[in-house]
């Protein structure tokens, strides 16, 4: 059965994956360097590696059912299922383990609606969801750490520790919203009980703080253009593998763009005034 889309035709790549043909080629080069294309035991795959990677990327991007994807690629539904299960974890982000002393990170949690109720709970969006703690580099806006998902009814303060994200960043300086108060994360100034209005300098700090911290919200907006993060049908660790893989694809689409590595003046001012 002939497929409709294939990686050998570059015009199909961008509309279905969000990656340019050049970026897709960079991904394939990196995967081959990691040994993904080494022959394994059993029958060979019905699709070449490029088409298998295309299948997984299309699945994450469009959230089509596996039956629909199988028709697009010209394979059976069971083969498409095996490709996603086998290749999805191998596309995971290589999380950063060491950080320079002057590195500043931003953390926030995002909810992913998940069909597997064994790993999810009802959350503030009234759906069964998982909470994912995502840490980005403030300068480059690249995802550097993704914690393991916790149930959606956990607040960010608890999820930060339970997900392993806190341990992963070590002693690096991290900023977050008021939900991380008391965790060692740098948060905005807040009026204490019985205290009057905040002084003007604290209002100014909070304004500059919000302008920097909003970068992680922009990252979430870009990551959720991969529609599987809006309604994930995968079970077990599937939602975690999807989040890690999409973080890698997000970094690939962002890396090399002009203007992504310059630190804004507002962040320098805020950190200098809050040692």
Which pLDDT tens digit goes with each residue over 23-40? 999 999 999 999 888 777
DSSP per-residue letters across 101-136: TT-EEEEEEEEEEBS-TTS-EE-TTSSEEEEEEEEE
pLDDT > 70? residue 270: no
Calculate mean pLDDT across residues 65-81.
93
Q: Which pTM was predicted? A: 0.88
Tell me what percent of the residues of the chain surpass a pLDDT of 90: 69
H-assigned helices in the chain: 13-17, 21-33, 49-62, 66-73, 77-87, 156-162, 165-169, 200-223, 238-254, 265-273
Which pLDDT tens digit goes with each residue over 120-168? 999 887 899 999 999 999 999 999 999 999 999 999 999 999 999 999 9
| pLDDT the model gives residue 262 | 42
Which pLDDT tens digit goes with each residue over 179-231? 898 899 998 888 777 677 777 878 888 888 889 999 999 999 999 999 999 99
Would you say 113 and 125 are in contact if contact means Cβ atoms under 8 Å apart?
yes
| pLDDT the model gives residue 1 | 55
Confidence of residue 266 (pLDDT cuts 50, 70, 90): very low
Q: Return all residues near 261 (Cβ < 8 A) that are at least 6 apart.
A: 139, 140
Confidence of residue 267 (pLDDT cuts 50, 70, 90): low
Would you say 253 and 18 are in contact if contact means Cβ atoms under 8 Å apart?
yes
Q: Return all residues near 233 (Cβ < 8 A) that are at least 6 apart.
A: 63, 65, 115
Q: In whole numbers, what is the pLDDT of the chain averaged over residues?
A: 88
Buried b (16+ CB within 10 A) or exposed e, 228-246: bbeebebeebbbbbbbbbb
| pLDDT the model gives residue 91 | 95
* Range in 22-31, 79-88, 131-140, 259-268 with the lowest mean pLDDT: 259-268
| pLDDT the model gives residue 194 | 67
| pLDDT the model gives residue 55 | 96
Would you say 243 and 132 are in contact if contact means Cβ atoms under 8 Å apart?
yes
Q: Are strands 128-137 and 104-113 parallel, antiparallel or unpaired?
A: antiparallel
| pLDDT the model gives residue 201 | 79
Confidence of residue 271 (pLDDT cuts 50, 70, 90): low
pLDDT > 70? residue 13: yes
| pLDDT the model gives residue 57 | 97
Confidence of residue 260 (pLDDT cuts 50, 70, 90): very low
């Amino acid at each position: 059965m002939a497929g409709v889309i294939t990686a050998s035709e570059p015009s199909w790549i961008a509309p279905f994956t969000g990656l340019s043909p050049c970026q897709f080629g960079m991904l394939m080069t990196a995967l081959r360097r990691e040994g993904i294309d080494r022959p394994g035991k059993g029958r060979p795959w019905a699709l070449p590696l490029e088409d298998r990677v295309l299948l997984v990327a299309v699945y994450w991007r469009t959230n089509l059912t596996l039956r629909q994807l199988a028709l697009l690629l010209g394979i059976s539904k069971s083969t498409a299922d095996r490709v996603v299960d086998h290749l999805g974890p191998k596309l995971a982000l290589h999380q950063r383990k060491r950080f320079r002393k002057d590195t500043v990170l931003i953390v926030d949690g995002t909810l992913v609606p998940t069909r597997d109720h064994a790993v999810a709970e009802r959350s503030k969006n009234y759906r069964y969801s998982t909470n994912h703690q995502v840490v980005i580099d403030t300068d480059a806006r690249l995802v550097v750490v993704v914690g393991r998902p916790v149930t959606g009814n956990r607040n960010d303060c608890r999820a930060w520790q339970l997900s392993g994200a806190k341990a992963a960043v070590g002693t690096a300086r991290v900023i977050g919203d008021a939900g991380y108060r008391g965790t060692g994360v740098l948060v905005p100034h807040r009026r204490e009980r019985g205290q009057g209005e905040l002084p003007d300098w604290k209002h100014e700090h909070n304004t500059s703080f919000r302008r920097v911290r909003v970068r992680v919200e922009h990252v979430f907006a870009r990551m959720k253009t991969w529609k599987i993060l809006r309604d994930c049908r995968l079970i077990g660790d599937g939602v975690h593998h999807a989040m890690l893989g999409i973080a890698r694809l997000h970094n690939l689409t962002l890396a090399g763009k002009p203007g992504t590595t310059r630190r804004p003046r507002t962040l320098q001012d805020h950190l200098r005034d809050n040692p």
